[in-house]
Chains A and B, each alone.
Chain A
């Protein structure tokens, strides 16, 4: 289409505003020198940021979230890598059902996953804590990681692997010297995005943490008290900046060295 459409352009820009403005209020009010979040702004302060240093529970929650996120993203990306390879490389019986089954945790309401894991975990006599949260997050991140990796592997020329095998390299050698380096940008993207998903996840953590709060659980706990809100705003602003950086990095990595297949990647996510 060669013509322009200004009505649609204006609408699209307004929609961008609708998406971005609410998120921007957090950083704006995090520098505001008042306990209430209302206009006009009272004055500039970094006090709310300094407050974060003194909160022991916040540090504990941050550390818990990092632990859960690292384990969940590494395990889910590893599992997803094998699965993605199977779907991208082979045609096999029960392909659709297996695919649907692995995607399921992403499709059913999270609260149901949380409740189901809660019931089995408690009845097995285990204590609630970060372990069941990590299991839940691994389950929830695997489909995401798999989608990213399938997109990466689908554009892959499998004759490279065959050539390596023909030249006498064994399966592991082929994997580590040929496939792995080529998948690597996709693997890192999957790791980063899984980490972010786990880091921000609330419902599974809410049902399964018991007393070991993760960062979203910590924020949830603070949101009820008006006087504690400002440092949650500061924390939120930091998280937003951090997340944005990681996600942009992941998006960039997904496209590295993938000239033509670029378009298909967006279609997967």
Chain B
């Protein structure tokens, strides 16, 4: 009996692979899938009082969500800020990756490690440094006032959407740099040379050859920047003020001060749904785009 089981095991890659995968899969199921299913069911309950929850199923929380102007506004703002952050991070990081992939000859690895090093220092501390820079008594304002250029501090720098966008562009830089670099570095240089030989201008070579070939990296970067930004809590809480608040700050309030767990669970579910929808849209659009361009 044991022998025959061993024989099956020795021959079957599926069983071997899943034996090895089982701890990871159990972890994901117990610590992520089950909790998320429970969160989903809580979004269909009702908070009666501080300690009491009514467990009858209802979609009322979702109706509430879309009837509350504040929540819808915050959702839209979260998406808008994430869109801006993604776009700006990509545009600013692209030339850097382009330079390293095509112009740097020696020690490309070193350049890359140096580019991603700040990313590993605490996220909280990086956000905090921006508070030092942008604050009303911060680096920028105090320097400008001391230099006599300004009389009063620039207030739009701090506690605003601008502050949130700048900080997150800095925070997620590595998420753009790595996928972009990888896709640019893979490009076979003879394609570009062929384009030049055929008389295309530099600009045309870029738009018709280099850029389309780097699209996989662009898609990867879009997704891994957009998703965490939609759910970001720290930056809007520290730097956003009232104007820069995002949906996650409200979710936290539902689980904290307001103590309305079903409403918080519903908001989190809506956030997750938004993220999934956007992921699907982005990958489909870019897939079509890639097919058309290449």
Contacts and interface: CB of A to CB of B under 8 A. Distances in A.
Contact of A266 (B137, B182, B268, B271): B182
Interface in B8-54: 13-14, 16-18, 20-25, 27-28, 31-32, 34-36, 38-39, 42
Given A82-B20, A110-B231, A243 B121 contact: yes
Nearest to A201: B123
B102 interface: yes
Interface string B94-124: 0110111011000001001111011011111
A87 B24 CA distance: 12
B170 A112 contact: no
B31 A136 contact: yes
Contacts of B38: 116, 119-120, 123
Contacts of A40: 146
Interface stretch (A56-64, A98-106, A178-186): A98-106
Interface in A201-231: 202-203, 206-207, 216, 219-220, 223
A247 interface: yes
Nearest to B183: A267
A205 B11 CA distance: 44
Nearest to B249: A111
A54 interface: no
Nearest to A3: B103
B137 A38 contact: yes
A19 B115 contact: yes
Interface string A220-248: 10010000000010001001100110011
Given A109-B248, A239-B125, A115 B268 contact: yes
Interface residues of B, number: 86
B93 to A, nearest CB: 8
Q: Which of A29, A38, A40 has the most CB of B within 10 A?
A: A38
Contacts of B93: 15
Contacts of B238: 223
B109 A20 contact: no
Contact of B98 (A8, A19, A93, A101): A8
A11 B95 contact: yes
Interface string A12-38: 100110111011011001000000111
A53 interface: no
B178 A239 contact: no
B18 to A, nearest CB: 7
Nearest to A267: B182
A92 interface: yes
Given A22-B170, A136-B31, A108 B272 contact: yes
A5 interface: yes
A118 interface: yes
Contact of A112 (B95, B131, B231): B231
B231 A23 contact: no
Contacts of A116: 32, 35-36, 38-39, 268
A203 B268 CA distance: 14
Given A4-B103, A239-B122, A139 B31 contact: yes
B173 interface: yes
Interface residues on chain A, size class: 35 or more
Contacts of A73: none
Contact of B24 (A25, A82, A92): A82
A116 B268 CA distance: 9
Given A25-B132, A109-B272, A244 B121 contact: yes
A111 B233 contact: yes
A95 B27 CA distance: 17
B79 interface: no
Interface of B: 13-14, 16-18, 20-25, 27-28, 31-32, 34-36, 38-39, 42, 92-93, 95-96, 98-100, 102-103, 109, 112-115, 117-118, 120-126, 128-133, 135, 137-139, 141-143, 146, 170, 173, 178, 181-182, 189, 192, 223-224, 227-228, 230-234, 238, 248, 251-252, 255, 261, 264-265, 268, 271-272, 275
Which A-B residue pairs are the 7 nearest by beta carbons?
A109-B231, A38-B142, A116-B35, A86-B20, A92-B17, A83-B24, A200-B122
19 contacts: A4-B103, A25-B132, A26-B132, A38-B139, A38-B141, A86-B17, A92-B18, A93-B14, A98-B21, A115-B265, A117-B31, A119-B38, A138-B27, A139-B32, A203-B234, A207-B252, A219-B124, A220-B124, A239-B125
Given A23-B125, A109-B228, 18 more contacts: A8-B103, A9-B99, A12-B96, A36-B137, A37-B138, A38-B142, A83-B23, A90-B17, A92-B16, A98-B21, A104-B32, A105-B31, A109-B227, A111-B252, A115-B264, A117-B31, A207-B255, A244-B117
